[in-house]
Amino acid sequence: MKKQENLRNSVAVRWSALGIVSFTMMAAYFVNDIMAPLKSMLEANLGWTSIDFGFFTGAYSFLNVFLLMLIWGGLMLDKFGIRLTGKLATILMVVGVSLQYYGMTAHFSEGAMIIGHKAGVFIAAAGYSIFGVGAEVAGITVTKIIAKWFRGKELGTAMGIQVALARIGSQAAYSVAIPVAKHFSVSTPVVIGGGLLMVGMLAFFIYSVMDKRLDRQDDYEEEKEESQFSFKDVKEILVNPGFWLIALLCVLFYSCVFPFQKFASELMTNKYGISDDLAGTFVGLPALGALILTPVFGNVLDRKGKGASIMMLGAAMLIFVHFLYSLPWVTHWFVAIFLMLVLGIAFSLVPSAMWPSVAKIFPTRQLGTAYALIFFIQNIGLWGVPNLIGWILDKYCVIGHTGENNLYDYTVPMVVFTGFATLSLIVAYLLKVADKRYGYGLEKPNIVKV
């Protein structure tokens, strides 16, 4: 009997697997970003303050950081596998977004508070926090899925395409949030996100069938290795200097991008005079740029390498962007858009180099835990930075009012972002030095020639 070709070696099957799980992540990114452009509407319609908004935004990472949910998720992924972990993660996302919607729409009695926060804000934030656990665990699961199907093949391109499709989700969220909210209500964009997430959950369940077939057919080493996972691996990961440098770069770089984007719609309207209908679309530009560029850079890295140098370049571009945004006298809308485009390039360069680098430093059996620990450290920034910026805005940056809304001066928040970007460049440089010293192969191409 003719031996069946390994599913991983079929170009159509492995790219279909990527397409399916990428759709799940696209839905997750849509929900993740859908509230960002609504900041001013949340203030005007639901009475949220900047502190409320910062608290809500940071809640995405709260359970991941303080209940170590990402760590448990990573250990579960390496111990119990992709299918169970991924299914649970997608279910959590749906549950979380439903609770978030409830918090935004239910009628609470006047002045009702939960642990010092307005009841509605607290419940929406709790939902977003549950969603955040699902989204991050789904993120590490999908990353491991990609490494499973593409290691030694088009790993950089595949990871780039997954990130690019996720960016479509973000860009769509930034573009549709305000028009949909104005036409219907401030909570309608969240309903659309919930619907997309349900389809994403179904998609993951379909992927699980493919995953099972691959495991059955395959003598895939990882499956044997998964059961060999031990806590010794966690120690091994933690004593690797490459881990700490990637994790630090990750938290610093992403703290300058995701939290910045959450506040950027307001920066566009308050500082550059851009209309609120268009502000979200402009803030979505980096996502749109990354959609095109991340797979391109991923492909270049697959063939030519230079990952560590590319991370340095991306970090340097980030300093340029945030520094110019911080200059109070630069207020032309054209500059705002130009900087968003540069941010888009940086936002493509660093992720396309960073994520495949992790797969070079660690063996497959440690990948789930390694990604989870890196995401965990990154989530400390995704929690802390929006809280910090929301607090700075409310305390020090209110310079007037327009109707129901505050008018903010964004100089100090942008100086804070510039500081983080500068630190990220220093860490990227240290990573390049460590690569030379420990021979991680970050400057080498991803595709292994046989």
Ligand X SMILES: NCCCC[C@H](NC(=O)[C@@H](N)CCCCN)C(=O)O
With CB under 6 A as the contact rule, the residue among 139, 194, 200, 284 that binds ligand X is 139
Q: Are 30 and 280 in contact (CB under 8 A)?
A: no
Identity of the residue, 174 or 375, whose beta carbon is nearer to ligand X in the bound complex: 375
351 touches ligand X (CB under 6 A)? yes
Identity of the residue, 99 or 163, whose beta carbon is nearer to ligand X in the bound complex: 163
Identity of the residue, 31 or 267, whose beta carbon is nearer to ligand X in the bound complex: 31
* CA distances, 379 to each of 154, 250, 287 (Å): 28, 10, 20
Burial 214-245 (b: 16+ CB within 10 A, else e): bbeeeebebbebbeebeeebbebbeebebbbb
Judged by CB under 6 A, the stretch of 11-19, 123-131, 157-165, 407-415 that binds ligand X is 157-165
CA 76 – CA 369 distance, rounded (Å): 9
CA 405 – CA 401 distance, rounded (Å): 6
CB of 148 to ligand X, least distance (A): 12
Residues in contact with ligand X, total (CB under 6 A)?
15
Identity of the residue, 133 or 397, whose beta carbon is nearer to ligand X in the bound complex: 133
Q: Are 376 and 70 in contact (CB under 8 A)?
A: yes
CB of 333 to ligand X, least distance (A): 25
Backbone angles phi, psi at 6, to 5 degrees: -60, 130
E strands along 209-322, which residues?
A: none
**Six token digits for residue 182:** 């104005």
CB of 83 to ligand X, least distance (A): 18
Judged by CB under 6 A, the stretch of 102-110, 159-167, 281-289, 330-338 that binds ligand X is 159-167
CA 288 – CA 281 distance, rounded (Å): 9
Which residues 52-91 are close enough to bind ligand X by CB under 6 A?
none
Which residues 183-242 are close enough to bind ligand X by CB under 6 A?
none
CA 215 – CA 21 distance, rounded (Å): 17
Sign of CA dihedral 289, 295, 301, 304: negative
Sign of CA dihedral 419, 131, 115, 48: positive
Q: Are 311 and 428 in contact (CB under 8 A)?
A: yes
Judged by CB under 6 A, the stretch of 50-58, 136-144, 210-218, 297-305 that binds ligand X is 136-144
With CB under 6 A as the contact rule, the residue among 36, 97, 165, 166 that binds ligand X is 166
DSSP assignment letter at 35: T
Identity of the residue, 186 or 372, whose beta carbon is nearer to ligand X in the bound complex: 372
Which residues 23-52 are close enough to bind ligand X by CB under 6 A?
29, 32
Residue 134 CB contacts under 8 Å (≥ 6 apart), including other chains? 28, 88, 89, 90, 91, 92, 93, 94, 95, 96
Chain centroid to CA 132: 10
163 touches ligand X (CB under 6 A)? yes
Judged by CB under 6 A, the stretch of 75-83, 116-124, 161-169, 208-216 that binds ligand X is 161-169
Identity of the residue, 297 or 375, whose beta carbon is nearer to ligand X in the bound complex: 375
CB of 264 to ligand X, least distance (A): 13
Identity of the residue, 120 or 351, whose beta carbon is nearer to ligand X in the bound complex: 351
| Bridge pairing between strands 405-408 and 398-402 | antiparallel
Identity of the residue, 85 or 162, whose beta carbon is nearer to ligand X in the bound complex: 162
375 touches ligand X (CB under 6 A)? yes
159 touches ligand X (CB under 6 A)? yes
Judged by CB under 6 A, the stretch of 14-22, 162-170, 174-182, 402-410 that binds ligand X is 162-170
161 touches ligand X (CB under 6 A)? no
Mask for 387-416, x = binds ligand X (CB under 6 A): ------------------------------
CA 390 – CA 400 distance, rounded (Å): 16
378 touches ligand X (CB under 6 A)? yes
21 touches ligand X (CB under 6 A)? no
Identity of the residue, 341 or 380, whose beta carbon is nearer to ligand X in the bound complex: 380
With CB under 6 A as the contact rule, the residue among 24, 143, 281, 387 that binds ligand X is 143
Identity of the residue, 159 or 397, whose beta carbon is nearer to ligand X in the bound complex: 159
With CB under 6 A as the contact rule, the residue among 48, 101, 258, 410 that binds ligand X is 258
CB of 291 to ligand X, least distance (A): 12
Residue 200 CB contacts under 8 Å (≥ 6 apart), including other chains? 23, 24, 25, 26, 27, 28, 90, 93
Backbone angles phi, psi at 114, to 5 degrees: -130, 125
**Residues within the interface to ligand X (CB under 6 A):** 29, 32, 136, 139, 143, 159, 162-163, 166, 254, 258, 351, 355, 375, 378
